Structure 1
Amino acid sequence: MRERRVDLDGRELASPGRRRAVLVRSRRDQGLSHRPAAAGLQGRSWDRHRRHPHGRERTRDAVRPVLPRRVDVFPRRHQRRRQRAPAPRPVGPPPGARRGLPLGRRRARRVAVTGPSRRTGVLIALGAVLLALSYPPFHIPVLSFVAVTPAVVLLRELERAADLRRALRLGFWYGLVSQGLVLYWLVVALWHFTPLSALGYLATIAVYGLWTAGLFWLVVQSRIRFAAVPLWVLFPVVWTAVDWGIGHQGDIRFPWLGLGTSLADAPILVQWADLAGARGVTLWLAWCNVMIVEALLPREKGEGRSTIRWQPAAVVLLSIALAGGYGAWRERTLPLRPAGVVGLVQPNVGFREKWNHTYQDSIVADLFALSRRLHDSSRLDLLLWPEAAVPNYFVSRPDWDARLAQRGRETHTPLLTGGLDATSVDDYYNAAFFYDSTGDRTAYPVYHKHYLVPIVERVPFVPPRWFHLHWFGGFGKGRGLPLYPTAVGRFGVLICYESIFADLARGYRRGGADFLVNITNDAWYGRTAGPYQHLTHLVMRAIETRMGIARAANSGISATVDPLGHVHAATRLEVRTAEASTLVTSDVLPWYVRLGDWVGTLAVIATVGFAGALALQRWKSRRPQ
């Protein structure tokens, strides 16, 4: 048998006898016909691990067609490679082999081996349902450990099929459907801002679909090329890197509900987020999902036999026990201290009513009335009004500014309120204003929101002064992380969905903040899962930074969160109320604050390494021999 390498990443095998046969195998074409391989076709030329004893590349399928007649496919000038003795072969070719070998540039059609489309659809739908049920308002922590198992099952099947195009398609649909179910409330939320809400919703989940498509492709391709890297290593790393990428895509960043955040309703299991952050929990949960699949659906051994493996399940249970043990120890030993009594004003103003000039004076009067009710019942150390509580610019209504200053002088209670701030005709911001206990706000910088909601607050990647559109926002981006002093400590501000960005909370803690304040207007979520999902991010921020957090929401949910992630004094949705709650905080500076998002960074480096190795291998394979 004579063998030589060819340009298209394959080999030519030819016998020197009269019944010459030519075989060509491309790495891209894993199969050459629809018929199964003839038994013992190549004899000992393939070992039991399906590796050619004289070659370097591993094959994942058997060689199928052999032509029983002379076929001149390659120029004779290339036939100068080394000679080998022919391997034993059957007397005749398998039936239909003549029509099984594609010649020329036409590629063989792949046979899908991942199962019928109905089964694939069921797995995608099941993955979407499990992921949605693992997040608030549902409180089923066990689902976090199986939320992405359907994705793992699909990846295993795609790996066996070695079908990269199908991996891209299924990955896109998996991300689109699963995030479409989790983020269904976006249609309701965006409708308040633009009649194009459905397009914004579809664009958001399509971005998630593209990320998941890339994840599926990279995992399947890496498993094909680097079979020594197990899926329980590859999948969690790439999943965590994708989670990092979604939070770092410029003006369209939207890292809503990473997998690790799904376990926030079981704080004892995520206390170690003070070491590794929410992405560390994401990595762990993704690993648990793979190990559970490996335990329940082990790969076949022998002649189609499979057995349930108890080792992966035992390792998962051990990791859960370790996480719970650390959480129990931290809850007993973390030193906590009361920071003070915080007043949370929840006026429950409708979205359209807030910006109607007819109602603006009555809205401000109601805010003062709720504040007086709190002062009459409690001794407050800090008063919080929600995001955009002041329904106009102070330059347009200086009388409101004067009333707020007077309130501070009379009550000697600091106040933080949301509002709009304009520094010029073209530069305006979603802002927060701080009045100290003397009623002065001029001595303190105005906080401008850093992370703006795409489309709603700012058109992505376009300076807002370039054009003005009716249905799109043009807010400016804030700079700096000011800390506001009170008698009970210094605090930093997070406006609205800035609570989903861990880097802001870490920055405040490193800067010396004693606690955080989150002001938000969740009225545009309506009675959907949105307000509950929004609040759960603060559980992770509190644990990561070991700071207490006070939250004032226009329509709910207002609450305080202690450094252990426990929620206190939570209000109901769409209720006009005012609550006083004792805020608890800690002076411990956790390792996650000191080291930053080291888990996400390492996951990105490893994923880029896998992608680079694939690119290098492909480049080498295309080089002329």
Structure 2
Amino acid sequence: MERLTGRIILLWGWRRSLTAFLAGAFAVLSQAPYDFFAVCFISFPVLVWLLDGATVAPRSGALRRIAPAFAIGWWFGFGYFLAGLWWVGGAVLVEAESFAWALPFAVFGIPALLAFFYGFACAVARPLWSNGLGRIAALAFAFGLAEWLRSFLFTGFPWNAIGYAAMPVPLMMQSASAVGMVGMNVLAVFVFALPALFADRRHLRLGLTLGAVLVTAHLAFGYVRLATPATADGPTLAVRIVQPDIDLSEKWDADVRDRIFRTMLELSAKPPEAGQPVPQLILWPETSVPFFFTERPDALTALGEMLGDGQLLVAGAMREESGRATGEETRYYNSVIAINDKGEIVDAVDKVHLVPFGEYMPFADLLARFGLEQVVAGPMNLSPGASRHAIAAPNGLRALPFVCYEIIFPDLIAVDATSADIIVNVTNDAWFGDTPGPYQHFRQAQVRAVETGLPLVRAANTGISGLVDPQGRIVDALAINVRGVIDASIPSYRRDARVAGGARVNGLIILFVFGALGLGMVLRQGLRPN
């Protein structure tokens, strides 16, 4: 072990960068759909040893002292995000004749930008570096800080946060309800990096004891929480989830729109299987309506005829607001629309958190000043919703909708879900095919159910659609590239609206405790006589 550690510490130049890149790429095997979290017990010790060797002359300036650590973190992050997000490139190839030029940015550019967060983490950790356990605490603090910042800076994109590696199954997801994703990120990095102590054995016994305590508490808390079922309190809601499996190449083809719409109607109107109740709420995926209702009022009539008495359809659809009366431009929204049994639109919730470059062009006004009207006037320019609210569902329940990747933002869900009984997620992951992307997306949605203590109902165009209980267990699901429906009854659960907010606070406390521990250890080492 000491010989291997020494060789890693002494790596230089391209060999050090390549090792960091490979360590980061290897760590992706801990994420869905692979869920082999043990790889992190290799990747993070390697990262620690690489940072051990990131030294410069004592009298170097502050930036020069952290530059080697930043470079190591950037290469680690580039490997991690490239191996974990390569499938994003599939989205631009769906309409390759128009967007193939963006493939290098999608595959390499996004990982290169996200890697700056891990470069930042290592740059923050290096000044707090000390021997033994102190540097492990410093790394955990720095990565926790970086992952927290990644959840909101530059619109935020907390995809595949390190903490998910410690939550491959519901037993290991329950801790998120107590410490949130911030706490999970910190604790996961701390435990994963502990094998680095085997190299010089400084603080080894203390580190292994702390690791054992944390892992035992993690598993025990999960066991106790799963053994104590969430308390059903109130009416149930019979739900039908529709997964139409529509080919994206046909999605907006004017010649097949009617056929797509008929498919949706037929799936929604199917009699329930024996033993299943007649659905009270029918859920369609994101942009499942292949036209604007303002252009096709006959579609609302058809929906009213299809829906039975008291049934409510909640469908993902594009919505437009004409600006003719005010002289403004027409606005388009990616929305969730509620339609009653009379074919009337009774509510609509617009997507608030749009995908940059996918649904809108950042800095559109600035680009337009440079004559780039063609770029900013493309079909990607949607308008964000002003706010989110719960839709009134049958039996007096409240269903809070999140469109596509909105479900991956823990703080967003924690704030909005306090007024809901059910979380609804509509998405269209067909853009990414049968790649790790849809599995990763579904996993993050599972954890949101655990954090909020609310059941999750999810409809995806080509999968993964499913029903998840408040403890993250999959009640039923449809696989990728399958056409069908799920019928299920959802109880309403007694819950404390403060749970998710409390977990966020606990997570931040853990973050600062580890930061203080790292700082304390480096100060203690500096004061120790030579």
TM class by smaller structure:
0.7 to 0.9
Aligned to 2:80: 178
Aligned to 1:555: 462
Aligned to 1:244: 148
Letter in 2 for 1:218: V
Residues 145-544 of structure 1: matches in 2 within 5 Å? 146-159=42-55, 164-192=66-94, 194-195=99-100, 196-223=102-129, 230-251=134-155, 253-294=156-197, 296-298=198-200, 309-337=204-232, 339-375=236-272, 378=276, 379-408=278-307, 410-424=308-322, 425-442=329-346, 444=347, 446-462=348-364, 467-469=373-375, 473-488=380-395, 489-511=397-419, 513-544=420-451
Could you tell me how far apart the structure 1 residues matched to 2:165 and 2:224 are? 22
Letter in 1 for 2:105: L
Could you tell me how far apart the structure 2 residues matched to 1:288 and 1:607 are? 12
Aligned to 1:567: 474
Deviations 1:323-378 (A, max 9, x none): 11111111122433383332111111111201110000110001001111155764
Give the CA deviation at 1:228. Answer: 11
Contact 1:274/1:544 (CA < 8 Å) preserved in 2?
A: yes
Contact 1:130/1:148 (CA < 8 Å) preserved in 2?
A: no
Give the CA deviation at 1:144. Answer: 5.0
Using the aligned pairs only, state the percent identity.
23
User: Which structure has the bigger radius of gyration?
Assistant: 1
Aligned to 1:133: 29
Could you tell me how far apart the structure 1 residues matched to 2:88 and 2:501 are? 35
Contact 1:131/1:182 (CA < 8 Å) preserved in 2?
A: no
Of Structure 1 and Structure 2, the greater helix share is in 2
Contact 2:424/2:458 (CA < 8 Å) preserved in 1?
A: yes
Q: Match of 1:154, SS?
A: helix
Q: Match of 1:516, SS?
A: strand
Could you tell me how far apart the structure 1 residues matched to 2:333 and 2:516 are? 40
Deviates more, 1:520-529 or 1:418-427: 418-427
Contact 1:264/1:539 (CA < 8 Å) preserved in 2?
A: no
Give the CA deviation at 1:150. Answer: 2.4
Could you tell me how far apart the structure 2 residues matched to 1:529 and 1:358 are? 32
Q: TM-score, normalised by structure 2?
A: 0.84
Give the CA deviation at 1:197. Answer: 2.4
Could you tell me how far apart the structure 1 residues matched to 2:192 and 2:342 are? 55
Could you tell me how far apart the structure 1 residues matched to 2:411 and 2:72 are? 32
Could you tell me how far apart the structure 2 residues matched to 1:490 and 1:604 are? 34
Q: Match of 1:569, SS?
A: strand
Q: Match of 1:570, SS?
A: strand
Contact 2:430/2:461 (CA < 8 Å) preserved in 1?
A: yes
Q: Match of 2:477, SS?
A: coil
Could you tell me how far apart the structure 2 residues matched to 1:472 and 1:180 are? 27
Give the CA deviation at 1:416. Answer: 0.4
Could you tell me how far apart the structure 1 residues matched to 2:228 and 2:273 are? 36
Deviates more, 1:603-612 or 1:427-436: 603-612
Q: Match of 1:335, SS?
A: coil
Decide whether aligned partners of structure 1 residues 165 and 192 sit closer, same or farther in structure 2, where only a CA change above 3 A counts: same
Contact 1:426/1:465 (CA < 8 Å) preserved in 2?
A: no
Deviations 1:559-600 (A, max 9, x none): 111111111222121122122133355221265423362256
Deviates more, 1:373-382 or 1:453-462: 373-382
Contact 2:37/2:165 (CA < 8 Å) preserved in 1?
A: yes
Deviations 1:51-86 (A, max 9, x none): xxxxxxxxxxxxxxxxxxxxxxxxxxxxxxxxxxxx
Contact 2:31/2:165 (CA < 8 Å) preserved in 1?
A: yes
Could you tell me how far apart the structure 2 residues matched to 1:199 and 1:143 are? 28
Residues 592-603 of structure 1: matches in 2 within 5 Å? 592-595=499-502, 597-599=504-506, 601=508
Could you tell me how far apart the structure 1 residues matched to 2:472 and 2:454 are? 9
Query: Which ranges in structure 1 are unaligned for 5 or more consecutive residues?
Result: 1-111, 301-307, 614-625
Could you tell me how far apart the structure 2 residues matched to 1:391 and 1:600 are? 42
Give the CA deviation at 1:463. Answer: 5.3
Could you tell me how far apart the structure 2 residues matched to 1:201 and 1:472 are? 22
Matched residue count: 487
Q: Match of 2:478, SS?
A: coil
Give the CA deviation at 1:121. Answer: 4.8
Letter in 1 for 2:126: V
Could you tell me how far apart the structure 2 residues matched to 1:560 and 1:376 are? 17
Give the CA deviation at 1:260. Answer: 1.3
Decide whether aligned partners of structure 1 residues 493 and 463 sit closer, same or farther in structure 2, where only a CA change above 3 A counts: farther
Give the CA deviation at 1:128. Answer: 2.6
Deviations 1:208-242 (A, max 9, x none): 12222222222113327xx8992132111111111
Could you tell me how far apart the structure 1 residues matched to 2:171 and 2:66 are? 40
Q: Match of 2:338, SS?
A: strand
Contact 1:419/1:432 (CA < 8 Å) preserved in 2?
A: yes
Query: Which ranges in structure 2 are unaligned for 5 or more consecutive residues?
Result: 1-7, 59-64, 323-328, 521-530
Decide whether aligned partners of structure 1 residues 278 and 218 sit closer, same or farther in structure 2, where only a CA change above 3 A counts: closer
Which of structure 1's runs of 4+ aligned residues deviate more than 6 A? 603-613
Decide whether aligned partners of structure 1 residues 583 and 157 sit closer, same or farther in structure 2, where only a CA change above 3 A counts: farther
Could you tell me how far apart the structure 2 residues matched to 1:376 and 1:438 are? 25
Aligned to 2:62: none
Deviates more, 1:577-586 or 1:266-275: 577-586
Deviations 1:447-479 (A, max 9, x none): 110111120111124359954537661111112
> How much is the aligned-residue C-alpha RMSD, in angstroms?
3.0
Letter in 2 for 1:197: L
Contact 1:464/1:475 (CA < 8 Å) preserved in 2?
A: no
Decide whether aligned partners of structure 1 residues 418 and 138 sit closer, same or farther in structure 2, where only a CA change above 3 A counts: same
Could you tell me how far apart the structure 2 residues matched to 1:383 and 1:524 are? 23
Give the CA deviation at 1:261. Answer: 1.7
Deviations 1:592-621 (A, max 9, x none): 4233622565578789999999xxxxxxxx
Decide whether aligned partners of structure 1 residues 609 and 139 sit closer, same or farther in structure 2, where only a CA change above 3 A counts: closer
Give the CA deviation at 1:430. Answer: 0.5
Decide whether aligned partners of structure 1 residues 276 and 610 sit closer, same or farther in structure 2, where only a CA change above 3 A counts: closer
Decide whether aligned partners of structure 1 residues 461 and 336 sit closer, same or farther in structure 2, where only a CA change above 3 A counts: farther
Aligned to 1:64: none
Deviations 1:305-335 (A, max 9, x none): xxx9343223212211111111111112243
Contact 2:402/2:425 (CA < 8 Å) preserved in 1?
A: yes
Deviations 1:86-123 (A, max 9, x none): xxxxxxxxxxxxxxxxxxxxxxxxxx973245752563
Could you tell me how far apart the structure 2 residues matched to 1:356 and 1:527 are? 22
